[in-house]
Amino acid sequence: MENVYDTTCRASRKEDVLPGWIVGTAGAVHYRLPRDVKGAIQAKTDVYGYLLGTVLNDGRIEFQLKEITEADIGELTRKNYATEFIRNCFVSNLANYVPDGPLQPPNCPQ
């Protein structure tokens, strides 16, 4: 989830919002996104991948989510694990719990 700190509580203080990501795609259970992801630029669930950071000549850092699909699984891994096991990682490794997400007004910290 990109832009994770841009929440409803910070709507009036955009200049104070830090850029930030939550990345949880390294083989764990696919957790559900929070209920409120309105401020997120990207918000994806049920994907595997990694976050690639590129430092530009002017010092800025750009981040890009690089998804890994079932088709990206190499031959050696396919030899060592049953096709059904690999497939289940992509389609059945899901959690049902949905977190509430960030605080909403009037509960925002001052």
Q: What's the pLDDT score for residue 80?
A: 94
Q: Looking at 6-10, 59-63, 87-91, which range is the least confident one?
A: 6-10
Asked if residue 97 belongs to a domain, the reply is no
Asked if residue 59 belongs to a domain, the reply is yes
pTM for the whole structure: 0.64
Tens of pLDDT, residues 29-44: 887 877 777 777 788 8
Q: Are 62 and 54 in contact (CB under 8 A)?
A: yes
Asked if residue 24 belongs to a domain, the reply is yes
The residue written with tokens 């699984």 in the block is 73
Asked if residue 75 belongs to a domain, the reply is yes
pLDDT at 12 over 70: no
Asked if residue 104 belongs to a domain, the reply is no
pLDDT band for 27, please (50, 70, 90 cuts): low
Asked if residue 102 belongs to a domain, the reply is no
pLDDT at 14 over 70: no
pLDDT band for 50, please (50, 70, 90 cuts): confident
Domain residues for 32?
8-91
The structural domain count of the chain equals 1
Quick one: tokens of 30? Answer: 């696919």
Asked if residue 99 belongs to a domain, the reply is no
pLDDT band for 23, please (50, 70, 90 cuts): confident
CA distance 22 to 64: 12
Asked if residue 34 belongs to a domain, the reply is yes
